[in-house]
Structure 1
């Protein structure tokens, strides 16, 4: 059991996007071994060649810094949570995710989003480190953490996994973190066409397939500002410098790279704030051209 406490932490870091405040709800910093496993082509030589990654996103030794966190905000009167992290007490094959004990819900509540108040949970995709807090254990049963919320993912995502021959570890994740939400009638799916799907004014799902077939990024627009929450189409800022660096768990590596290149090209030189779902603090930034690729110009949280 890995136990973590936020007792020494202050308010949730946040960014202003027009008239929207986006809060980062921290769960846990991922261990150093995560980078070499997840992004094997991001070798220390590749990483250390990008001076701008140090000190926030990588060490001088080339080890990547990666986090697990969620984002919470209010848009069009909806109290929204994007992705739900790893979760507590979950049986997981990855030792970094197994049987965690974090105070994620206390952090979420302190940011002004107690679980009962959440209206919408957007799941960028159905991987274990993005759906864990969908449920919590009550009297030995897994029940929805956000009982008044609509949980939402793309139809292509849910249909892909419904037809997939899952290994036991993934079956376990669906049993404890997806199926209970479905049985409670809280999970909805939405078609996400190439131009994206508007969920509410100022909230849009953008198709970003490759990591999984139905993966989406989340775009939010306030008065005079736009932000994009990456999900796992970009795991780490090193992929801005090397968009060809993919994750070992990408379902379609070629599509994942094509999606990443298209997305980064569309963001480069704009004022859109990129919020990385696994980016270590400062977590957010603007994509700028750098050589024949890109880098992240950090925008620290307030």
Structure 2
């Protein structure tokens, strides 16, 4: 992560002009450009205290949500996992060409990370072995990533934790303020359009051979929480996991969604649209109320459903448009 705490060059100029002091040497000027912050201690999701000598400036991020948070704070990582995939699935921010790809999110290259000489690595995994390997390279900050019991609060905490580590707490406060304002304004717009309390479903899907599986974003999923903050009601009440608020079903399982006012939102940023291309001839799918009433909405490509405030705001804006357009 790059720091906002770089010394102001004007100080050097003022020190050298109109005084009887010795000229500022190149070495002194260079020294004045170094961050002068005191050490920072941040407690991560493991409950571990991570101490940095100063705000981190060379950061490697191993998950897209945290990568987005870094860039939204004004910090371009020196390395990130699966940068190609990030560009497809998360358009809230754009990575510079200088950002090195350090491998897949589930299996990053420790050697590639070490070669970048980071002063901080951010990960979102409970992979204790990987964390131990990386801690031989640099301090490691482990974000929670998701918590279906309190996902919006969790997102705020992850953002503020990262912001503290890179000296960007003011930027984090602004991001969260803008996010809250977008939710409040969106709720008002949906209510004005008569959409308050209307049911929604959020899903994505994949195919294996001729079998199509559907993943539902139930109670506690991050984007479900965003939708509920807009005054909408999640129609999917099936079983979900405690971390991500996600559940799976097949097309038959969707027959439980009988309310004709339900709107079905889905994500397919990678071009494999199982709803438009895989289920369009399926008799059960075509009989579902939201399909019959043409209330199926493909969300814009590149909105990451597990991201930070900027992705959350993108999702909120798309929902508002669907209910008010």
- TM-score, length of structure 2 as denominator length: 0.24
Larger Rg belongs to: 2
TM superposition score normalised by structure 1: 0.25
Q: When you count helix as a share of all residues, which structure comes out higher? A: 2
